Amino acid sequence: MHSHSSRLHDQGDRIGFVPTMGYLHEGHLSLMRQARKDNHVLVVSVFVNPTQFGPNEDYDAYPMDLEKDTSMLREVGCDVLFTPSTEEMYPVRVATTVSVPGLTDRLCGVSRPGHFDGVTTVVNKLFNITRPHRAYFGLKDYQQYRVIKRMVTDLDMDIEIIGLPTVREPDGLAMSSRNAYLSAKERESALSLSRSLEVASEMVASGERNPAAIESRVKELIESQPFLSVDYVSVVDAEELTPIRSLDRPALLALAIHAGGARLVDNIVLCKTD
């Protein structure tokens, strides 16, 4: 992969890169279609990265279907599929890691300690191997997007990071490989995530400016459903992910919810300026 990327650079090709953990869906494909449009070559990685999972998380259960992924990738016009094994990515224990403290101490960083260090380190490795000009991330994982953007800025990496909107099922549920864990009843309850984001956005449209009022209304809506338990519901500054006192600037409403065996995230940016 490394020498192939170098050849592409020598030829003057621009590389668009979409890192994934596989079990692809329309959310992943939307990133790929954009990358396909913007660049000469589309490189996609499928790698379930062990270092971003905590000891009691779903690494061993993470869904996989490389055959189906491959046919979806063909359809979307992917030029290079990079699927390294864990041994290839981590032949020895990695001593060097990349951390983005601050941004990763909040939201998902609290309940998933070490998760973002695993993400930033593997994304760095993948960037070094695939040498992209542009890399595409979903805003469904909004904190991840901000963290990667910050890493690229801080380390002067010559890569444009592009964030694209969340793709949803027709009933509003954000697409996720982890939706495969949901029973029909849990899935029904999980619709309250996207519904509560809509309610929050209506509250802001009707003049609500108090983040705490929005957080408690959203919590109430989610906790009224069976099978769900709230990890967090937070309104934070959309750039720094820090708590805010008033909705007087772009703010992120982010949720992480346990639904049966799945941990689901969703979010919306409130008070957008553009």
Catalytic (active-site) positions: 28
89-104 burial, b at 16+ Cβ within 10 Å, e below that, comes to bbeeeeeeebebeebb
Q: Quick one: which of 175, 238, 264, 268 contacts ligand AMP (CB under 6 A)?
A: 175
Give, in degrees to the nearest 5, the angle at Cα 122 between 176 and 3: 115
Under the binding rule (CB under 6 A), the answer on residue 166 touching ligand AMP is yes
Q: Quick one: which of 69, 117, 141, 186 contacts ligand AMP (CB under 6 A)?
A: 141
Gap between the Cα atoms of 146 and 210, Å rounded: 24
Closest approach of Cβ 12 to ligand AMP, in Å? 27
Residue for token digits 């995530």?
Answer: 193
Containing 22, the helix (H) or strand (E) segment is none
Closest approach of Cβ 158 to ligand AMP, in Å? 20
Gap between the Cα atoms of 242 and 244, Å rounded: 6
Under the binding rule (CB under 6 A), the answer on residue 20 touching ligand AMP is yes
Q: In terms of CB distance, is 41 or 175 closer to ligand AMP?
A: 175
Q: Quick one: which of 8, 15, 21, 222 contacts ligand AMP (CB under 6 A)?
A: 21
Q: Quick one: which of 29, 31, 197, 222 contacts ligand AMP (CB under 6 A)?
A: 31
Q: In terms of CB distance, is 175 or 221 closer to ligand AMP?
A: 175
* Structure-block tokens of residue 160: 């444009």
Q: In terms of CB distance, is 109 or 138 closer to ligand AMP?
A: 138
Asked whether 172 and 195 are in contact (CB, 8 A), the reply is: yes
Under the binding rule (CB under 6 A), the answer on residue 52 touching ligand AMP is no
Query: How is 211-232 classified by DSSP, letter by letter?
Result: HHHHHHHHHHHHHTSTTEEEEE
Closest CA to 222 of 264, 261, 181: 264
Cα 260 to chain centroid distance, Å, stands at 21
Among the residue ranges 166-174, 186-194, 207-215, 253-261, the one whose residues contact ligand AMP (CB under 6 A): 166-174
Q: Quick one: which of 81, 89, 157, 167 contacts ligand AMP (CB under 6 A)?
A: 167
Q: Quick one: which of 16, 27, 109, 118 contacts ligand AMP (CB under 6 A)?
A: 27
Asked whether 241 and 252 are in contact (CB, 8 A), the reply is: yes
**Contact residues for 67 (Cβ-Cβ < 8 A; gap 6+):** none
Under the binding rule (CB under 6 A), the answer on residue 176 touching ligand AMP is yes
- Mapped onto helix, strand or coil, the DSSP state of residue 19 is strand
Q: In terms of CB distance, is 69 or 186 closer to ligand AMP?
A: 69
Q: Quick one: which of 5, 15, 16, 28 contacts ligand AMP (CB under 6 A)?
A: 28
Under the binding rule (CB under 6 A), the answer on residue 125 touching ligand AMP is no
The residues facing 265 across adjacent strands are 256
Among the residue ranges 83-91, 100-108, 175-183, 257-265, the one whose residues contact ligand AMP (CB under 6 A): 175-183
* Structure-block tokens of residue 109: 């960083």
Among the residue ranges 76-84, 88-96, 138-146, 236-244, the one whose residues contact ligand AMP (CB under 6 A): 138-146
> Residue numbers of the site for ligand AMP (CB under 6 A)?
20-21, 27-28, 30-31, 137-138, 140-141, 166-167, 174-177
